[in-house]
Amino acid sequence: MNIYLYMAFAWALALIAGKIVKKVKLPNVTGYLIMGLLAGPYCLGLIPADIVSQLSFLPEMALGFIAFSIGAEFKLSYLKKVGKAPIVIAFCEAIGAVLVVDLALILTGNDIAFSLSLGAIAAATAPAATLMVVRQYKAKGPVTDTLLAVVALDDAAALMCFGISVAAARAITSQGGGSFLSALAAPMFEIVFALVFGAVMGVIFRFLVKLYTGRGNRLAITIAMVFVCLGAADVAGFSDLLACMAMSAVFVNTSKESDMVFEQTDRMTPPIFMLFFFLSGADLDLRVLPSVGLVGVLYIIFRVVGKVLGALFGAKISKAEPVVQKYLGYALVPQAGVAIGLATTAMSVVPEHGKMIQTVVLCGTVIYELTGPVITKLALKKAGEI
């Protein structure tokens, strides 16, 4: 079989998985992940490792479109309606996860620099699974509205928390006198550069959509603009997610044609997202699970505790609705690509613990990606929004 047949086979299995999980009232995302896991190279081997590797560009492409969709939630009229709550909650849940994991690891006798490096990664949340659950069940209400804005802001909050924690860890391990400021400046520069670049792309996007009025042309422009953000981010080393979000946020607030463009994109992207989650499942290696030990258990449990408590605290101080205070934190469990990327960076800070950090994060990804969509669905259902 060649790569095209494997892609068709993957889509067929994902479609079958969607039908099966609907019978047991689970989100489609969970079905795609589990089917990918079963068919992948670490289980039945129906999809070989080299095919998963050849298709590695698809997850990045899917995340670009997911970020593009989430950026559309930053309409000024909508932000005025929800107020400051999403910003406060996003930073509180990110900081909450980092602090709770740090404390749990340090109090159980782990090295402080290692604890700070691993705890820094706890802030990251995967927006993809959350968005897919919201779309599948057509969830609507204050929790959903706030949730979409929070996961959009989470990437920026996670990068800031990671920068501060890694700077502290470097200072403890004494890797140069100016390491604290330089380590802190790097993620801040990355965030600002990504937002500025995305904003400029948003202005260009608006001009091109006005120039080309055909539906096919506008769809081609949309795909090309997302790819420009992804490619430039890869070359320059800034966050592609933030750039895509900033581009769509500027576009949705400046263009009268934005609704039509986003509707077209939403019709095109489901097959890409389906394959993205299937491949994410195929890439999950269950063999890492037994090797995580107590550190892994602490990370997996206390990250969720920190997210829930942080979201609750943020919702209370920003005077969000009681239903948001009660349920939002449980919808922030999924964790994937950004966390794995941060784990790779953390390996250079505490190289002696690098392998352990990577293993714990990979293990957490397996568990969070399989359970997160189900927990998100339950939270939204309890909130009365499904």
pLDDT digits (tens, 9 = 90+) for 30-75: 788 889 889 989 888 899 989 988 988 887 788 788 778 878 877 7
The span from the CA of 104 to the CA of 276, in Å, is 33
Q: Do 199 and 153 touch, CB atoms closer than 8 A?
A: no
Of 193-202, 204-213, 309-318, 348-357, which gets the smallest average pLDDT? 348-357
Q: What digits encode the pLDDT tens for the residues 4-27?
A: 999 999 999 999 998 898 887 777
pLDDT of 10: 94
pTM of the model: 0.71
Q: How many domains are there within the chain? A: 1
The string over 46-77, giving b where at least 16 C-beta atoms fall within 10 Å of a residue's C-beta and e elsewhere, is bbeeebbeebeebbebbbbbbbbbbbbbbeee
pLDDT of 82: 67
Q: What digits encode the pLDDT tens for the residues 242-263?
A: 888 889 989 999 988 888 898 8
The span from the CA of 335 to the CA of 362, in Å, is 10
Mean of the pLDDT values across residues 274-292? 77
The CATH number that applies at residue 372 is 1.20.1530.20
Instruction: Give residue 344's pLDDT band: very low, low, confident or very high (50, 70, 90).
Output: low
The span from the CA of 88 to the CA of 316, in Å, is 10
Question: To which residue do tokens 């604890």 refer?
Answer: 115
Q: What digits encode the pLDDT tens for the residues 175-218?
A: 554 555 665 666 677 778 888 999 999 999 999 999 998 889 99
Closest by Cα among 273, 212, 210, 291 to 32: 273
Instruction: Give residue 117's pLDDT band: very low, low, confident or very high (50, 70, 90).
Output: confident
pLDDT of 250: 92
Domain boundaries, position 364: 3-382
